[in-house]
Amino acid sequence: MAKKFGAIATVNPKDVESVPKAIRKLTGGGADHSIECIGNPKTMEQAYDCLRIGGRFTMVGYSEKPMTLNAARMQYREMEVIGSLGCGMVDYPKCIEMVRIGKIQVVPMVTAKFTLDQINEAFDTLRRGEGIRSIIVF
């Protein structure tokens, strides 16, 4: 899916022993910026651990579960950690316009469609972490 949207290279966590090590090797030292959107403490830690010196980690995914970040590594490597709940209300009109004019392609991100009668199946799919984006069609 990532290559479909323009990624030059990808790392499949099932194919490597360590995602951060694979990303550091692929990038020659680590990512400039990592963005975690799932809200899973393990992927949050991986996103943080794959950064280069001076890198920035943005947490968009939400989780009430605790995660561990090495504060000494953050200081020594002058890294940034930013929390985000998405975009502000003022950003929505710009985002909608970008979708409307085709600058952002959202249809390829839809990996499953459900009817309202299938709502429980849709939630089961969500809980299992399957797919990129599922929608309910009325």
DSSP the chain: -TGGGT-S----TTT-S-HHHHHHHHHTS-EEEEEE-S--HHHHHHHHHTEEEEEEEEE-S--SS-----HHHHHHTT-EEEE--S--GGGHHHHHHHHHTTSS--GGGEEEEEEGGGHHHHHHHHHTT-SSEEEEE-
Per-residue confidence band for 131, with pLDDT thresholds at 50, 70 and 90: confident
Are the C-beta atoms of 82 and 57 separated by less than 8 Å?
yes
Give the residue carrying structure tokens 């001076």.
Answer: 54
Torsion of CA 34, 35, 38, 39, to 10 degrees: 90
Q: How far is CA 120 from the centre of its chain?
A: 25
Whether the predicted pLDDT of 10 surpasses 80 = yes
Whether the predicted pLDDT of 120 surpasses 90 = yes
In sign, the C-alpha dihedral spanning 114, 4, 54, 29 is positive
For the chain, the structural domain boundaries read 3-83, 90-137
- Per-residue pLDDT, 80: 96
Q: pTM, whole model, 2 decimals?
A: 0.72
Average pLDDT over residues 117-130: 89
Torsion of CA 35, 36, 37, 40, to 10 degrees: 180
CATH of domain 3-83: 3.40.50.720
Backbone angles phi, psi at 45, to 5 degrees: -65, -40
